Chains A and B, each alone.
Chain A
């Protein structure tokens, strides 16, 4: 019983991290129909920028917003300067994002080196809480709380504001949305920047237990895509459910069937794509 509780807790907290990466990716996918292969880079760069902030100011709490904002600006520039002029050609967009992923990888290597670095969270978060005789690391509790807070704010923006309605309309039918006067180009820009922002937050948060190292970008990316596909692109609720499902599947897969653990993650992704390409909770 304890084994199951601990595994569920670990799975859900990993899912919380995945939600940060995948919610933005899902919105980008939904609004722009872009397979953004540089999304993992924003995660990685977020972690690196946070490290620099911590090294210079010593403040972990400051590192999260600074890293997120810096990376959001990077994402915004990439979208405006390079992606937007390409127009709707899926393959060229994909390849362009890969080109940038390589450039970012090299830049990160030059600036921060090739070592496996760690982001140490503040002392207060390194303790454990006890509940029912089990120890739960406080940091993982914090991850779940943060992801939940961000998820709820995103949901409120999407469902309760005019901007959110415009985003949802663009996801459903970009052409119609543009037709009724929604500035879809601006929506794309905002969503892309928001996605980079969230991925960077994920990088800072995840850096404490995944570490920050070259290659992490392309490790987290396919997993985030699995979340997007299982949850359904362009759907926040889908991203939330997909994150928890993938988090749990990953944890239990590794614990119970280690030899096929990644297979158990991607095979459902294939099946869902084959049966219902827009994902379980996808719109349209």
Chain B
């Protein structure tokens, strides 16, 4: 906990001192951190591996871009209104999608969320009159927030940073609440929760909607971080990236998603300027994480402890894990 607060504070102090490339890079990483954490609610806490989380990012981002270019909404004080609209829109999309997806489990949940994500991508890619098709939409400028902290980029960094911290807090409170505990119960053993009288469908559905809402928020922030929205933001690989961020950092930890997002964005956008074969590093990191770090980076301490501990306790833990539920 203290470490997280310390790291966040360090980020807020150090980043604005650096050059604008780093500021932009960290801003993007923070946006993806919000998306990854929203996915972690599903994957890490509810046990629902979604392959379509980019859809909500896309919905939020396109909403922002269309409002900004067609109606000049969201470039001044109305930015905050767009944030609320983006979250609602993401949540509403998830509420609609969830009606189809929540019944599915395991591999089928992966497939149906993939298909739903592709539906959104298809519309973004082809519905030229609304989305600009393949070219996407350029957003003329960053919003005026009515205050200025350093340059425009630094100001926007602070805005995104604030949203990141707020999202982390809200999600943290949510998963520590009785509702969050019931989600973890569903992840461990859905049948048992149902027998205990929980409406597990509803709990999963609500988690899906909440994750969609935060996905929409990430979308609004992404649109202005990039200044450009295109079908690239909604493709399957973006959803896959989000999943990998969560697993790389450690699912079921929230903060892990943020760490994963930082690493992936750093590799993708910084390493690619240094070496042409950066994708080997990224692919290698993924493969190695999945093979050797099932708990992600956040799981390393536990993994080390297990290795160094005398044989008694891990055995017991293993026995507990394999006991019939």
Contact = CB atoms under 8 A, between A and B. Distances in A.
A240 B287 CA distance: 33
Contacts of A34: 107
Interface string A72-100: 00000000001001100011101110111
Contact of A105 (B103, B118, B244, B279): B279
Interface in A244-284: 258-263, 265-267, 269-271, 273-274, 277
Contacts of A221: 236
Interface stretch (B125-133, B181-189, B201-209): B125-133
A161 B118 CA distance: 38
Interface in A9-46: 29, 33-35, 37
Given A259-B126, A261-B122, A82 B291 contact: yes
A222 B291 contact: no
A218 B235 contact: yes
B110 interface: yes
Contacts of A222: 114-115, 118, 236
A260 B123 contact: yes
A273 B247 contact: no
B115 A95 contact: no
Contacts, number: 137
Interface in B266-315: 277, 279-280, 282-284, 286-287, 290-291, 294
Contact of B129 (A35, A94, A259): A259
Interface in A199-239: 218, 221-222, 225-226, 229
Contact of B283 (A102, A270, A274): A102
B243 A95 contact: yes
Contacts of A29: 107
A270 B290 contact: no
A258 B134 CA distance: 13
Interface string B106-127: 1110111011101101110111
A274 B128 contact: no
Given A82-B287, A92-B290, A273-B100, A263 B122 contact: yes
Interface residues of B, number: 44
A116 interface: no
A259 B114 contact: no
Contacts of B49: 90-91, 94
Contacts of B118: 222, 226, 262, 265-266, 269
B165 to A, nearest CB: 28
Contacts of B24: none
Interface residues of A, number: 45
Given A91-B49, A225-B114, A229-B115, A262 B122 contact: yes
Given A35-B110, A102-B279, A103-B280, A259 B128 contact: yes
Nearest to B99: A274
Nearest to B248: A95
Given A98-B244, A102-B279, A274-B100, A262 B125 contact: yes
A110 interface: yes
Given A103-B284, A262-B118, A270 B100 contact: yes
Contacts of B115: 222, 225-226, 229, 266, 269-270, 273
B101 to A, nearest CB: 8
A229 B106 contact: no
A128 interface: no
Contacts of A101: 283
B166 interface: no
Nearest to A101: B283
Given A258-B126, A270-B116, A277-B108, A99 B286 contact: yes
A106 interface: yes
Contacts of B243: 91, 94-95
A202 B126 CA distance: 26
A87 to B, nearest CB: 11
Contact of B107 (A33, A85, A261, A274): A33
B84 interface: no
B237 interface: yes
Contacts of A277: 104, 108, 111-112
B290 A95 contact: yes
Nearest to B130: A259
B227 to A, nearest CB: 23
A82 B288 CA distance: 10
B73 interface: no
Contacts of A271: 100
B240 interface: yes
A226 to B, nearest CB: 7
Contacts of A269: 115, 118
24 contacts: A33-B106, A33-B107, A34-B107, A91-B49, A91-B247, A94-B243, A95-B243, A96-B291, A98-B240, A98-B286, A101-B283, A102-B286, A106-B280, A225-B111, A225-B115, A260-B127, A262-B121, A263-B119, A266-B119, A269-B115, A273-B111, A274-B104, A277-B104, A277-B112
Counting from the closest, the 10 A-B pairs by CB-CB distance are A262-B122, A99-B286, A102-B283, A106-B279, A103-B283, A99-B287, A274-B100, A273-B112, A266-B118, A269-B115
Given A94-B243, A270-B115, 14 more contacts: A33-B106, A86-B291, A94-B51, A95-B290, A99-B290, A102-B279, A103-B280, A106-B283, A225-B115, A263-B123, A266-B118, A266-B122, A273-B108, A274-B103
